[in-house]
Structure 1
Amino acid sequence: MRHTLDFLKQLAHGLAIQFGSSCEIAIHDLKTKDLEKSIVYIENGHVSNRQTGDGPSGIVLETLQSDPSTIHDKLSYLTKTEDGRILKSSTFYIRDNDGSISYIFSLNYDITAFTAASTAIQSLIATKDNLPDLTGDSPRQITHNVNELLDLLIEQAVAKVGKPVAMMNKDDKVAVVQYLDHAGAFLITKSGDKVSSYLGISKFTLYSYMGK
């Protein structure tokens, strides 16, 4: 495993040199005992304002929550930083001999300037019968630590239900808990306490909602 990590670091450094300062490469260690510090190496961390020792992304939690045999590399999708920059990202899953996933090799390229230029060009060349479609799925937001990630997952769960907590009934709260469970939120230390408090339910009720 040490040789694998050394090679990944070598590859990350080479890609960062090849593609320049807009290209961030982060390596997450999925075998670590301290999930809150899953990033073991990063190049050009200024792109997402992260550094070695920062916490997992949503994809890391999803990976830990899923059957490794069902997981495949995710190529060329959009993410965004907390300050709104758009990144073109790819995620590679590095496996042990037994098929389990030991590392995530993540590449994020800042395309904000290209996106702005493309939008400007499209608006100039578009006709009323051929307007550019700038809609689509919202990019995933990159987080720096597990607290930010948990807050983001809670926000997404509430948005999916479509009601503020004060207006939620039992079924709505069950939906929130199950969304968070599926996303791997409860892998985060003390997440159960925060979610219970946020929803105004007991820990016992929280666990019962997870099992529904």
Structure 2
Amino acid sequence: MQESQLDFYKRLAHAIALQFGDGCEVVVHDLQSADPDHSIVAIENGHVTGRKLGDGPSHVVLEALHAGPHKLEDRLSYLTKTAAGKILKSSTVFIRDDGGRVIGIFAINFDITVLRAAQSTINWICGTEADAPKEPEPIVRNVADLLDDLIEQSVQLVGTPVTLMTKDDKVRAIRYLNDTGAFLITKSGPKVCKYFGISKYTLYNYLDEAKSGTEAE
């Protein structure tokens, strides 16, 4: 992002954080950075998620880096969860240049852990039949944790332990990792190979199959 843009979003982040207090984290990701593993260029109240300047991307950031700009839409008022178990109400706004290309992300994460607990207690006392809550999306602190989380999600998607996976199962898991942008993370290939017990050559073959399978669908 240009310096003038970055200055504006830094001031906006500071204003929102002051407006809503220390339970409101505001983050700016620069997607034009030469090092996508360190995309956070501005952050207010980083103690909410434990992140700081120079930390790496979230699931949403990887999605933005991997997907075409026409497929991306702002995500407003959805639930996320930190590694420490905090429940956050989050909004993600994609910053675009004049040509519509996504160049950054402006994100707000408001800690509603105590409010959710109070809501749960009120629902229980009133005896209402609440709808099943959506599972909050995890917010990770670094790219290593993010890759571990994506690998775990790929295994959950397949529904079979790695030791019992067939070739088709592993191709499906690799397709998920590719679709979520996992291979944009530095040195992700060797870790994926080790986890699934495959060689680098096999990984490339599975990736080709996964991509061709996606195109066929």
- TM-score of the pair, normalised by structure 1: 0.96
Equivalences for 1:156-195 in 2 at 5 Å? 156-195=153-192
2 CA distance for matches of 1:61 and 1:207? Answer: 20
Map of 1:146 onto structure 2: 143
1 CA distance for matches of 2:170 and 2:124? Answer: 43
Map of 1:49 onto structure 2: 50
User: Aligned residues, how many?
Assistant: 208
Instruction: Provide, for residues 83-130 of structure 1, a one-character-per-residue CA deviation record: whole Å limited to 9, x for no partner.
Output: 11100000000011111111100100000011000000001112xxx4
Q: Secondary structure at the match of 1:208?
A: helix
Equivalences for 1:51-130 in 2 at 5 Å? 51-126=52-127, 130=128
Q: Alignment identity in percent?
A: 53
Question: For residue 74 of structure 1, what is the amino acid of its counterpart?
Answer: R
TM-fit CA distance, 1:163: 1.4
1 CA distance for matches of 2:161 and 2:6? Answer: 44
Gapped regions of structure 1 (runs ≥ 5)? none
1 CA distance for matches of 2:134 and 2:101? Answer: 30
2 CA distance for matches of 1:50 and 1:125? Answer: 38
Question: For residue 58 of structure 1, what is the amino acid of its counterpart?
Answer: H
TM-fit CA distance, 1:191: 0.5
TM-fit CA distance, 1:75: 0.2
1 CA distance for matches of 2:169 and 2:200? Answer: 17
Gapped regions of structure 2 (runs ≥ 5)? 210-217
CA RMSD of aligned residues (A): 0.9
1 CA distance for matches of 2:166 and 2:35? Answer: 36
| 4+ aligned runs moved over 2 Å, structure 1 | none
Map of 1:155 onto structure 2: 152
